[in-house]
Amino acid sequence: MLGPAILAASRSDKMRRIVSAAPVTKPVVNRFIPGETVDQVIPIVEDLTAKGLEVTLDVVGEDITTVEQSHAARDAYLQLIEQLAHLGLGETAEMSVKLSMFGQALEGGHELALANVRPVVEAAAAIGTTVTLDAEDHTTLDSMFAIHEELRRDFPQTGCVIQAYLFRTEADARRLAAAGSRVRIVKGAYKEPAEVAYQDKAEIDKAYVRILKILMEGEGYPMIGSHDPRLIAIGQELARQAGRKLDEYEFQMLYGIRSEEHLRLAAEGHRMRVYTAYGTDWYGYFMRRLAEKPANLLFFLRSMITK
């Protein structure tokens, strides 16, 4: 029952100030967000790729409130892409972006987010890599899918994320499971009402399997975003049943979570991509990681008390 309370706190400015100012927060944050600058995250990318892992990089940030911030988000990604190109990491590192960081919620936000994300997708394509659009709360998704479709006209390799907890997602998966598409399936990390989303964990897992089956039997490239051992095993089995080779789908997990499993899957010959977030605006991302596993919150609170 802690999860929904933490997710509510993830959107509270008051809680943001309290959590960000606490002296013990930083070491706990670092487990999930291992750097604040490009220079700090590049060695992590090099280390992961040296271990046979692939990477998707997320400059943390969301729900920005000014047009200037949306331009700063675009520029942060462009700077990152420049560094990746310089170091020859364009082949193994792709990018994940949240459209709310590109201005999607501002007035005229759909067009603004599209105008900001397009140069990022263009720059990524120029160095041989690509961008995946993260899925945020359900009210943003029609705009996200429309931007995805628009970008795919010129950059068909642009990916998107679908969330198993939403009732709409099976239909989205059918639409997206077409040739050339790249779709990451995840359980879903936001606080969603019962009118639009399953609330029960078992129901979400069952929906995840149904949707993954649609993706595996389709013609696109499924990206299995989960740390759940049961879903990983089911993913392998569904891929086998669909006759997919090891390079015709991939696993994705978050940096700092089940790291030994990243290595195990890579050692088995799977493509394994580590979602690596960095930057200073880490609050929302960090709180969702706490909400996913209450033990993380207890660890965090304990370190506050024992400090």
Residues with a known catalytic role: 134, 184
| Residue 225 near ligand FDA by CB under 6 A | yes
Q: How far is the CB of 271 from ligand FDA (least distance, A)?
A: 13
77 vs 258: CA distance, rounded Å: 27
Residue 227 found at the interface with ligand FDA (CB under 6 A): yes
| Residue at token pair 């959590």 | 19
Q: Please, are residues 284 and 9 in contact by the beta-carbon 8 Å criterion?
A: no
Q: Judged by CB under 6 A, does residue 254 bind ligand FDA?
A: yes
- Least separation in angstroms between residue 256's CB and ligand FDA is 7
Residue 4 tokens, joined: 């929904």
Nearer residue to ligand FDA within complex by CB, 86 or 201: 201
Is 173 near ligand FDA (CB under 6 A)?
A: no
Query: If binding is defined by CB under 6 A, does position 161 make contact with ligand FDA?
Result: yes
- The residues, ordered by sequence, that sit 6+ positions from 35 with a Cβ below 8 Å of its Cβ are 41, 44, 278
DSSP state letter for 102: G
The yes or no reply on residue 102 touching ligand FDA (CB under 6 A) is: no
The C-alpha atoms of residue 9 and residue 210 are separated, in whole angstroms, by 31
SS3 track for 169-208 = HHHHHHHHCCCCCEEEEECCCCCCCCCCECCCHHHHHHHH
Contact, 216 vs 238, CB < 8 A? yes
Q: Which of 77, 102, 145, 190 binds ligand FDA (CB under 6 A)?
A: 190
- Residues in binding contact with ligand FDA, number by CB under 6 A: 23
> Binder to ligand FDA among 102, 221, 249, 275 (CB under 6 A)?
275
One character per residue 2-41, x = contact with ligand FDA (rule: CB under 6 A): ----------------------------------------
Degrees (nearest 5) of the Cα angle 155, 225, 247?
65
Residue 211 tokens, joined:
């949707």
Residue among 257, 259, 303, 304 that touches ligand FDA (CB under 6 A): 257
Q: Which residues bind ligand FDA (CB under 6 A)?
A: 134-135, 161, 163, 186-190, 225-228, 252-254, 257-258, 275, 289, 292-293, 296
